[in-house]
Amino acid sequence: MIQSDQTIDIDSESRVSRIELPADSDPSVHWLRMGDTLVLSSQTFPPYTATTSSIDHRDAPGSQPIDPTSSLRHWVDGFGQPTLITVDLPSATIIAQTDLPRNDLPRNGVATELTAIDADNQKFAFMQFNAKPFQAAPVVRFGRISSDGKFLEDGHFSITAAIESTVSSDAFTQRTSDTLIRYPWNDYLNPVTLPLGPATPVSLAVDDTFSLVSSVSESELDVLANDQLHELFGPAFISSLLDAPEGVSIHGSGRSIQVTSQALQGIERLSFRYVLSSNGKQSIADVDVDVVTMTEDDVTALVEMALQPVDVQGNPVTEIANGQTFYLEWTAKDLRSAGEGVYAAFFDLDLPSDRLQLTGEFQHLNDFKALGDGGGMDGVLDEMGVFSSDVEHPGNEQQTLLRIGVIAVGVGDVLITPTAADEPGHEILLRGRDTETPAESVRYLSTSLTITEAPVFDPLDTDEDGQVTAVDALRVVNFLGRYGVAPVDDLPQLLAAEETATGISLEETRRLDTNQNGSITALDALVIINRLGRIPETSEGETIGLFDAIDEIKPIATGE
């Protein structure tokens, strides 16, 4: 808060006050000053997205930007609770915070365009929009600041799209292309409509009929293609859907409708209505979709996509232990009779998060490189893309494009199925074909994976063959004969040059510390021998031979 009167001889530090906002709030770009009171539009977020925010308020009336970067991020996310924060300017302190109702706004509803109705009595109005446009009409809300700083609502009403909106002490007024709509504050439920010259042509929505294949993941319906549009004062758009099931939504800027396969399952015909808005006027049309169910035999597949689980050595697996890391190998195969291979491809993947999680490791194979900015989090891969830099085509051979690191986190059976990417331009391209591959011509194969309980290893089973034998003790004896007593922490340096030459890994050597005291000594072999002495099947000759071997290395093991 800055004291702007330059005639007052106050040092600059004393003229600036800093207002600290709650840690879970994110200020909007709109605020309103009425006398010594500042009303700030904000959103409240869960703790995991909260950041401490603060503002420097400049002494000027009206709505001004405060933190556009932060507020834009959450405006897009749209999961916050819209709030009004009331600040007492002389003391630069927050005196109240009011959560705003959403009414018909399914998301966001942050307060915008705060405008004074009667500043002396701290009466004002503001608008609330939906974070996803075209899915709910804007709401005008008006009221006053109470003695304790809370916002008390006097009323609210929904409005249509308009060319211009104004707020006065008497009413809220909208101007469309040919009408003036006035909402008096004392009778806002009975707006007065006045014509402004000859009526402009009204856009007319026309009924549509489409045919969609139920197996296609997503389809876009261009319902405006046959509508009679008059867009002299702005574009027409779909403002809402009526009787639409889940899986049917307004797409993009409101010029088309998106239908997912979810909405087409188990039915032969899908029917709903849409509302076309233009120049403040509305028109309604019916949409009928004939659902076609097709089997694989009905569709000529051009390419086959799959995700094959493999172990760290690249061997295919159908069973993984809980806690084990492995890979999903993304493969593609050109099914055309004279195929030339896949040039570029995208896919999405949604893994059950209670069974599998991504490790974040991606290995591009066979001259395939990353394409686009797709990535993964938890168990979801979104818009993952690759393209080939290889000048020679592989024909109809199966291509391995990418390995994706995964870790098993829960026991059970999992079905892994890649699906088509959603973004425009993220299609599958085949060599020798000038156009993208139609979605219905891509065959996505499912792979089953069983996640079992993690096995409990016997610490004396140094070679992990499932049983404790004399060989396990001899492994300790051989190590001591070569290196002597060694702390486990020194093994990386000790084996750095030998791991590749001997083929014995660092993890295998760590298991030689059978008593887990941090060092590999003769005691580790004796622990195994004691176990073998209690096992009837162990021959006496084996045990005596081990004692003799340990006697031979004892000077080395003890350092004598």
- Nearest to residue 303, comparing CAs of 339, 324, 334? 334
Tokens coding 461: 């089973």
Question: pLDDT tens digits, the chain, 560 residues: what are they?
Answer: 545 555 555 555 556 677 888 877 777 778 899 999 999 998 876 554 333 344 444 443 444 443 433 333 333 344 578 899 999 988 889 999 999 886 555 455 788 889 999 999 999 999 887 655 444 568 899 999 999 999 999 999 988 766 688 999 999 998 877 788 999 999 999 999 888 877 777 889 999 999 887 767 778 899 999 999 988 767 889 988 999 999 999 987 889 999 988 899 889 999 999 999 887 678 999 999 999 876 655 567 889 999 999 998 889 999 999 988 999 999 999 988 888 999 999 999 889 888 999 888 899 998 899 888 777 777 788 889 999 988 788 888 999 999 999 999 999 999 998 988 878 788 899 998 888 888 878 888 889 999 999 877 788 888 878 788 889 899 999 989 888 898 988 888 777 656 544 445 666 788 888 888 889 999 998 988 888 877 655 444 444 455 555 555 444 443 43
- Nearest to residue 284, comparing CAs of 203, 230, 213? 203
At CA 466, angle to CA 462 and CA 471, rounded to 5? 45
In a domain, 145, yes or no: yes
Same domain, 378 and 254: no
CATH code of residue 274:
2.60.40.10
Number of residues written out for the chain: 560
The pTM (predicted TM-score) of the whole model is 0.40
Same domain, 39 and 149: yes
pLDDT of residue 109: 74
Same domain, 273 and 305: no
Instruction: Name 492's Cβ contacts closer than 8 Å, sequence gap at least 6.
Output: 506
The answer to whether 39 and 98 are in contact (CB under 8 A) is no
In a domain, 181, yes or no: no
Same domain, 356 and 419: yes
In a domain, 465, yes or no: no
Same domain, 322 and 421: yes
pLDDT of residue 195: 87
Count structural domains, the chain: 4
Same domain, 241 and 125: no
- The domain in which residue 408 lies consists of 301-452
Same domain, 246 and 355: no
Same domain, 305 and 443: yes
pLDDT of residue 401: 92
Same domain, 406 and 526: no
In a domain, 168, yes or no: no
Same domain, 443 and 487: no
CATH code of residue 420:
2.60.40.680
pLDDT of residue 176: 76
**Pairing, β 442-444 against β 303-310:** parallel
Helices (H), 408-521: 470-483, 491-494, 499-502, 506-510
Q: Characterise 337 by phi-psi region: left (phi > 0), alpha (psi -120 to 50), beta (else).
A: alpha
Tokens coding 209: 């009929």
> Which of 158, 181, 196 is at the close of a domain?
158
In a domain, 381, yes or no: yes
Same domain, 52 and 150: yes
Tokens coding 299: 């569709």
In a domain, 235, yes or no: yes
pLDDT of residue 337: 83
Same domain, 133 and 36: yes
In a domain, 271, yes or no: yes
> Which of 135, 158, 181 is at the close of a domain?
158
CB-neighbour burial class of residue 548 (10 A; exposed 0-12, middle 13-18, buried 19+): exposed
Helices (H) and strands (E) in the chain, counts: 7, 36
**Pairing, β 93-99 against β 81-88:** antiparallel
Question: d(Cα 282, Cα 237) in Å, to the nearest integer?
Answer: 10
In a domain, 443, yes or no: yes
Packed helices 540-558 and 470-483: angle between N→C axes, nearest 10 degrees: 20
Tokens coding 397: 């051979």
